[in-house]
A and B are shown apart, each in its own frame.
Chain A
Amino acid sequence: MTERVGVAKTYKLYIGGKFPRSESGRSCPVTSHDGAFLANAAQASRKDLRDAVVAARGAFGGWSGATAYNRGQVLYRVAEVMEGRRQQFVAEVRDAEGLAVDSAESVVDTAIDRWVWYAGWTDKLAAVLGATNPVAGPYFSFTVPEPTGVVGVLAPQRSSLLGLVSVLAPVLATGCTAVVVSSAARPLPAITLAEVLATSDVPGGVVNVLTGQAAELGPWLASHADVNALDLTGADAEQRVELARAAAETVTRVLRLPEREPDWTTPPGIARLRAYLEDKTVWHPMGV
């Protein structure tokens, strides 16, 4: 019996809700953990990154302006669609990271549950992090946390799905939009995740995924004047310092990272959520 010939997937970038190839036409071969060829992933250029930031900025008004309830529903839908693609993610994580089946399944399940965790945060942040301020005067004063804007993320190099979800979901949960540079050597789950986002009512431009080299794209992302915050997890220690310096030019907020990359399986706290929020304090007199 002849073996069926499979239809191989082409992995492209995800920008503005669409899947274009890199404008540079470049691609990079992706191999599995044990050296087998998997695919040629698009290699994003600085112009792709420029376009991604434009898309992210364009989408910010609508995404941050949606109700927190609506954002929560969309993020929950992402989890629903991820769950449907569980087998596909397990296979891709195994290929990328060389995990045994049960470990890979655990990683994928944790990634899905993490997404659900963040979905449930959207309409809680204001109550947990906001306040009414008992000022000493006849004024009503309140502080409300607002999303900071466009967040640039260098995704973890090793944890191709769970780490990626852990750095991306908090951006969305706070109402920010994202430009993500995936792991250079393990980019494929990022594009499959992008496919999930594209089919889960996430508006185009809210998330943009660039497969490519953090070393090449990092400086453009960090120095970009229209990026409001940065997560430099995917950069090595030395590069992080350089990028943080570049970010200082435009007072871009740089997330404080631990010395060592965390074990992504442990439940996160809310540091990432807080990092992407700005406090707005309002005063109004109280009088007849």
Chain B
Amino acid sequence: MKGETVFDYAPAPENPDIARVKQHYQPFIDGEFTDGGGEPLKTLNPATGEVLAEVSTVSSSDVDNAVSAAREAFERVWSPMPGTERAKYVFRLARLIQERARELAVLESLDNGKPIKESRDTDIPTAAAHFFYHAGWADKLGYAGLGRDPKPLGVAGQVIPWNFPLLMLAWKIAPALATGNTVVLKPAETTPLTALVFAEICQQAELPPGVVNIVPGGGDVGQTLVSHPGVDKVAFTGSTEVGKQIQRQLAGSRTRLTLELGGKAANIVFDDAAIDQAIEGIVNGIFFNQGHVCCAGSRLLVQESVVDEVLTNLRARVETLRIGDPLDKNTDIGAINSAEQLAKIRELVASGEGEGASRWTSPCPVPERGFFFAPTVFSDVESSMRIAREEIFGPVLSVQTFRTLDEAVTMANTTPYGLSAGVWTEKGSRILWLTSRLRAGVVWANTFNRFDPAAPFGGYKESGFGREGGRSGLAAYLQGDDDD
């Protein structure tokens, strides 16, 4: 707490000029930046609430153009190109991201609100790694277990969320390109900027025009894109609600679909866990990226015999989290992405209090302007409460207790979601027993929030279907020998 501290770190702000923020950004279609026909949007810096830049958005005829450009590029240039040559383009993209890493990290934090420490150390390097990894597959697809000569699908229409803008773009574009598809991607309405700098990178890499198209806009643009008849494959990451709409819309069509939706992951802590690292894992699980993570460990299930110890240590640890200016290198928790999201978090937190859970919020100082929410832990939570069932997508943890293993498994699985889960115990057999019983696409044991392009990621049940990363992730973008 300020004033009482002996050792205060002093402000350590990154320089926003490094991001080279422009006043006006344009859609990227067929290798060119041109203004679109939609209403320009203003993207805000959520740490201040101020306008960062204006972005021209696309109209539906722009989307048509983008899809046509992608189709042309697919047929004439990209799919006839030998994999070895395609690989080298994708390697270039990886390298260019690495070269412009700092600029991209600062821009990401300005546009999204996440701490610079995270953009710099996680988002940007992992995005580069995705391109690097997938580049290597471009000329090795026959080894992926999908047939001797799997073929690309054509044009991929991709819609990504605001929580990891550049990283989500990498998860979508890298495998699509490596497998020989071309893309039209819509970044999220509140975080379009790094996608448009990525478009510059495509130019610097001399990527053939039309292979990558970036079409900024709102939900309506997303709608147009995913239902466009010229799109062979749709990839969507976002809310379960919108995912269901898309699935409904595409039902019965030949368009291939993968969805990566919400989650309400259980983070299960046993009495024999390595307690200090488990606390770190809990904190990382729900407070990394302000809790704006689909796979966040938002439900803490603690073995009853250790709940007091865990909660005491957890609160002490959470109190050391620094919330503030995303560009400050010492900030642990940045801004909530938008006023809308902040309102949703507040609403759900109010419901938690209303339904009788006990709320604890960190006494850390919170900036006066901008969209911020202090880390909050609810205990005495019942499974029936909204905060135990609904995805909050904010720095809010709900804590429940269990007594037996079966109870923990049942609680973890009793949810329509199934994206991820965490297990904390020093007993190896128990970890492996649990991993076979947890209905989640990703299980982290004695760790949390680990992502790697080589490790497939995706959900069970209403958290979506399809995987991104690894060998399995390629399947979404290819026709195997026996697919029709």
Interface positions of A (Cβ within 8 A of B)? 68-69, 72-73, 76, 113, 116-117, 119-124, 126-128, 140, 270, 284-288
Contact = CB atoms under 8 A, between A and B. Distances in A.
A128 B145 CA distance: 8
Interface in B136-191: 136-140, 143-145
A116 B94 CA distance: 14
Q: Which 5 A-B pairs have the closest CB atoms?
A: A120-B136, A286-B432, A140-B432, A286-B433, A287-B429
Contacts of A288: 405, 429-430, 433
A69 B432 contact: no
Interface string B428-446: 1110110010000000000
Given A140-B432, A286-B429, A121 B140 contact: yes
A287 to B, nearest CB: 4
A128 B88 CA distance: 21
Interface stretch (B106-114, B127-135, B209-217, B218-226): B127-135
A122 B132 CA distance: 11
Given A76-B91, A116-B84, A270-B143, A128 B430 contact: no
B87 interface: yes
Nearest to B428: A284
A69 B88 CA distance: 17
Contacts of B88: 113, 116
Contact of A124 (B84, B91, B136): B136
B430 A120 contact: no
B102 interface: no
Contacts of B395: none
A285 B435 CA distance: 12
Nearest to A129: B143
B432 A123 contact: no
B436 A286 contact: yes
Interface centre among A119, A120, A270 (most CB of B within 10 A): A120
Contact of B137 (A113, A120, A270, A287): A120
A108 to B, nearest CB: 15
Contact of B143 (A72, A124, A286): A124
A69 B133 contact: yes
Contacts of A270: 143
A116 B132 CA distance: 11
Given A117-B87, A122-B136, A140-B432, 5 more contacts: A72-B136, A119-B136, A123-B454, A128-B144, A285-B428
21 contacts: A69-B133, A72-B133, A76-B91, A116-B88, A119-B136, A122-B136, A123-B136, A124-B143, A124-B454, A127-B454, A127-B470, A128-B143, A128-B144, A128-B471, A284-B429, A285-B432, A286-B429, A286-B433, A287-B429, A287-B430, A288-B430
A286 B428 CA distance: 8
Contacts of B430: 287-288
Nearest to B178: A120
A73 B132 contact: yes
A113 B144 CA distance: 20
A287 B143 contact: no
A221 B87 CA distance: 36
A117 B139 contact: yes
A131 to B, nearest CB: 11
Given A140-B432, A286-B429, A288-B429, A120 B87 contact: yes
A128 B471 CA distance: 8
Contacts of A286: 429, 432-433, 436
Nearest to A287: B429
Contacts of B133: 69, 72, 123
Nearest to A138: B433
Contacts of A287: 429-430, 433
A120 B133 CA distance: 7
Interface in B414-437: 428-430, 432-433, 436
A73 B129 CA distance: 10
A118 to B, nearest CB: 9
Nearest to B144: A128
Contact of A120 (B135, B405, B436): B135
A270 to B, nearest CB: 7
B436 to A, nearest CB: 6
Contacts of A119: 136
Nearest to B470: A127
A123 B470 CA distance: 9
Nearest to B455: A127
Contacts of B143: 124, 128, 270
Contacts of A285: 428-429, 432
